[in-house]
């Protein structure tokens, strides 16, 4: 009876998620005692009753009932502007998720996204929920970086609010093709504020490649180049022939920015990698890096060179040089994406030949 009050629009990727069914009829008794208190301006009393009922249900392993009480109580408190109480009940709900071992589903994710949307951006309440929700989804989904759908939703929410730096990590961790598209648009918007376009191209391309996500890397760079040239026509170059035999002219739109050109060619070269089985592609990668790094700039920097060494090992089974510098960017990405070797010891990763995604049509 209380579900009809839901008015927060769900994100597009949850369009199939249209309703949250009540867990058990026993939750009605608790909600009949709690929700009228919110409506009558007694949020403290409502909050305390919700915690009391939920604790009882949880201790008796009636987890679904506890979740239903906490979700609906938190939702109504947040709608009435009670961020502190609503956040507390949301975190309690996540505790119940943990105790139950609740896997990430459209329903369990949908409760969280609704409450995140209602919490608002003021203060640290929403960030607290987001951090806990991502940690839960990392534990109870197949993705160590957290559920891709949840990470995409959070990234999109933050992007629309103009929090580009915070949204970036969620889009990269999501790895979904839709996330790569939105990340490309966000990087174009971000570059308009100031900065070299190529630097923003790197921020999307290299992390996806380093995570072994060719599809996302290709989606990102195709969208980024298309949108960037649309907003800055002068960026297009009359040179449309690659100096390297890794592509044809239909795959690369050359620009006056060498870093953007490198990103496009890097993705296409990695697509054709087969570990140490394809010597021609290994040589292409070395030639590509050498050609563009010789021009100086960011591609020749210590941090980017270290990331490119990692990519060379991952896709082409090229061992890193013995004098390879530390890779702070790679360490940051590994931590952000749920990886990292125990004890801080770097592990050599290689993609199995044949598992690298082939070019997918219709990405844009």
Residue extents of the structural domains in the chain: 29-141, 179-321
Query: Pick the residue with more confidence: 9 or 76?
Result: 76
Give the single-character DSSP code of 352: P
- pLDDT of 336 strictly over 50: no
Provide the CA 137 distance to its chain's centre, in angstroms: 12
Q: How high is the pLDDT of residue 140?
A: 96
| 188 pLDDT more than 50 | yes
pLDDT in tens, 19-59: 444 444 589 999 999 999 999 999 999 999 999 999 999 99
Q: Write the pLDDT tens digit of every residue in 246-269.
A: 544 457 899 999 999 999 999 999
**What separation in angstroms does the CA of 178 have from each of 36, 173, 174, 181?**
41, 12, 9, 5
Residue 157 near residue 116 (C-beta atoms within 8 A): yes
Closest CA to 321 of 329, 331, 330, 313: 313
- Residue 335 pLDDT greater than 50, yes or no: no
Q: d(Cα 296, Cα 311) in Å, to the nearest integer?
A: 19
Q: Which fold has domain 29-141?
A: 1.25.40
Assigned token pair, 316: 């082409």
Residue 269: Cβ within 10 Å count: 22
Sign of CA dihedral 209, 212, 215, 220: negative
> How big is the CA angle at 220 (ends 214 and 224), to the nearest 5 degrees?
150
Structure token pair of residue 198: 């190529």
pLDDT of amino acid 96: 98
Q: What CATH architecture applies to the domain 179-321? A: Alpha Horseshoe (1.25)
Equal fold, 29-141 vs 179-321: yes
Nearest to 173 by CA among 332, 9, 348: 332
- Are 313 and 320 a contacting pair, CB within 8 Å? yes
Confidence of residue 337 (pLDDT cuts 50, 70, 90): very low
Q: Hey, how many other C-beta atoms are within 10 angstroms of the C-beta on 32?
A: 11
């Amino acid at each position: 009876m209380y579900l009809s009050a839901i008015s927060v629009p769900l994100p597009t990727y949850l369009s199939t998620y249209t309703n949250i069914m009540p867990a058990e009829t026993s939750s009605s008794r608790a909600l009949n005692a709690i929700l009228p208190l919110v409506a009558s301006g007694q949020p403290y009393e409502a909050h305390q009753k919700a915690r009391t009922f939920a604790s009882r249900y949880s201790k008796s392993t009636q987890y679904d009932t506890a979740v239903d009480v906490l979700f609906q109580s938190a939702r109504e408190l947040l709608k009435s502007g009670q961020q502190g109480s609503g956040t507390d009940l949301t975190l309690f709900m996540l505790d119940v998720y943990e105790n139950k071992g609740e896997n990430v589903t459209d329903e369990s994710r949908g409760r969280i996204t609704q409450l995140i949307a209602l919490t608002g951006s003021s203060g640290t309440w929403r960030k607290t929920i987001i951090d806990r929700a991502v940690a839960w989804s990392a534990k109870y989904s197949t993705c160590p970086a957290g559920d891709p759908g949840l990470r995409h939703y959070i990234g999109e929410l933050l992007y629309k609010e103009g929090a580009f730096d915070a949204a970036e990590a969620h889009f990269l961790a999501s790895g979904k093709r839709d996330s790569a598209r939105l990340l490309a648009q966000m990087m174009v918007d971000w570059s308009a504020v100031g900065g070299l376009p190529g630097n923003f191209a790197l921020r999307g391309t290299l992390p996806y490649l380093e995570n072994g996500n060719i599809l996302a890397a290709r989606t990102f760079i195709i969208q980024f180049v298309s949108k960037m040239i649309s907003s800055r026509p002068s960026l297009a170059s009359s040179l449309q022939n690659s100096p390297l035999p890794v592509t044809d002219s239909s795959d690369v739109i050359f620009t006056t920015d060498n870093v953007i050109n490198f990103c496009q060619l890097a993705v296409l070269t990695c697509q054709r990698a087969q570990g140490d089985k394809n010597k021609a592609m290994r040589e292409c990668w070395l030639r590509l890096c050498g050609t563009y790094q010789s021009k100086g700039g960011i591609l020749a920097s210590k941090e980017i060179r270290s990331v490119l060494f990692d990519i060379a090992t991952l896709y082409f089974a090229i061992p890193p040089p013995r004098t390879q510098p530390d890779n702070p960017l790679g360490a940051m990405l590994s931590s952000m994406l749920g990886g990292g070797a125990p004890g801080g010891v770097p592990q050599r990763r290689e993609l199995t030949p044949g598992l690298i995604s082939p070019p997918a049509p219709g990405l844009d």
